[in-house]
Amino acid sequence: MEYAKGYVYELMDNGGPTNIMEPYFVEAVDEMMRARTLS
């Protein structure tokens, strides 16, 4: 499943995802960490 870039931050602004164990959330965290180390 694909999500628009930046959707994670929108979720956080809205109070965060209801379940942090959702696969898309885990992938998002991995992606954010990877992007931070690269930039």
pLDDT tens-digit readout, 1-39: 455 666 666 766 766 555 555 666 777 778 877 887 765
Whether 17 is covered by a domain: the verdict is yes
Whether 1 is covered by a domain: the verdict is no
pLDDT at site 1: 47
Whether 30 is covered by a domain: the verdict is yes
CA distance 29 to 4: 14
CA distance 27 to 2: 11
Tally of domains within the chain: 1
Residue 17: give the domain boundaries. Answer: 7-38
pLDDT at site 26: 75
Whether 2 is covered by a domain: the verdict is no
Helix, strand and coil content of the chain, in percent to the nearest 5, comes to 60, 0, 40
